[in-house]
Amino acid sequence: MTIHREGRLLLLVLTIIFVGLNVGLPYLAASSAVVNTVLISSIVIFLLILQFFRSPKIETKPDENLVYAPADGKVVVIEEVHEDEFIKDQRLQVSIFMSPINVHVNRMPVAGIVQFFKYHAGKYLVAWHPKSSTENERTTMVIRMKNGLDILVRQIAGALARRIKWYVKEGDELAQGKEFGFIKFGSRVDVFLPLDATVKVKIGDKTTAGKSVLAELP
């Protein structure tokens, strides 16, 4: 288990602040009750943020017929929709909600070349809101597989997630399970699959990025 690069600076700053605060309080003649409360609160806050930025080592077994989960979390949507931004056709949408206690590393569900990538500024509706997929801050990435099939993945910021990070650009060729992004403090990731894909999860299922199988391709 390692700490993700997105959290290292924040954790360093918090360490300096909390150490300074807890070392300095006794010199300010604070009561023992205040000193103990601040100490316990500092530890709890630090541990909560530390666990949020954890980055476990994941080994993905490559399989061109499988679509892996791009995120840790809970499956909240499985439905047929019309994808309007790039594919412009009917697709099966599978959405994973990432709570603040989930690992927030995003991984490639399939191997392929990034055919399209775009960042959209937007609102910060709660991640499960029906309009969050089209109105919230988000990114859209289309992965073209070797067989020519396009898989669209969308990172969506939620009410707490105020920063989406991505590490890809159009033309990049990435392996299945490779890290492509990170979303801070609660969010959602949508995957748009062909209609003839066989979905292997159901609403409420928990997923692990790069390990849980979302669907099997025809």
Average pLDDT on 22-28 reads 82
More confident residue, 151 or 34: 151
Question: pLDDT > 70: what percent of the chain?
Answer: 89
Supply the pLDDT for residue 74: 96
Supply the pLDDT for residue 94: 97
The span from the CA of 166 to the CA of 169, in Å, is: 9
Each residue's pLDDT tens digit, 91-150: 999 999 988 788 889 999 999 999 999 999 866 565 555 555 666 788 999 999 999 999
Give me the count of residues in the chain.
218
> Where do the structural domains in the chain lie, given as residue ranges?
2-55, 66-216
Among all residues, which ones are annotated catalytic?
187
- Cβ–Cβ under 8 Å, residues 126 and 77: no
- The candidate with the shortest Cα–Cα distance to 108, out of 73, 133, 71, 77, is 71
Each residue's pLDDT tens digit, 161-181: 557 889 999 999 999 999 999
Average pLDDT on 1-24 reads 84
Residue 151 β-bridge partners = 143
- Cβ–Cβ under 8 Å, residues 161 and 131: no
- Is the pLDDT confidence value at 46 over 90? no
Per DSSP bridges, beta strands 138-144 and 150-157 are antiparallel
- Cβ–Cβ under 8 Å, residues 61 and 206: no
Return the CATH superfamily for domain 66-216: Glucose Permease (Domain IIA) (2.70.70.10)
Phi-psi sector, 56: left (phi>0), alpha (psi -120 to 50), beta: beta
